[in-house]
Amino acid sequence: MSYTLDDCLIRGYIPIAIEINDQEEPQEILSLSFSKIRLSHIDRGSANKSSAPVRVGYDLATVKSV
C-alpha cells in the first residue's frame, strides 16, 4: 500500500512524553497538510498472486475524486 500526497507540509509535531518500560515505546503525533491524496493498493489472493492495483484519490482544491 502506498500513499501519495501533493503539496504536503508538516503542520504540527508533538512528542508525547510517556513512562518508558518494557511494554511501551515512545510515541509522537505528526499532523500533515496537503492538497491531494492518492492511495494505491495491490491485493493478493489466497494463492498469493497479485491482482490489478486499486487506486483511489481525492483533490481537496477541486473537491473531486482523482
Name the residue among 63, 13, 10 with its Cα closest to residue 36.
Answer: 63
* Cα gap 11→5, rounded to integer Å: 14
Q: Can you give the CATH number for the domain in which 10 is found?
A: 2.30.110.20
- Domain limits for position 20: 2-65
> pLDDT per residue over 6-57, tens digit each?
999 999 999 987 666 667 777 899 999 999 999 999 888 778 787 888 999 9
- As for how many domains the chain has, the answer is 1
Predicted confidence at residue 42, as pLDDT, reads 87
Predicted confidence at residue 18, as pLDDT, reads 67
> pLDDT per residue over 47-62, tens digit each?
878 788 899 999 999 9
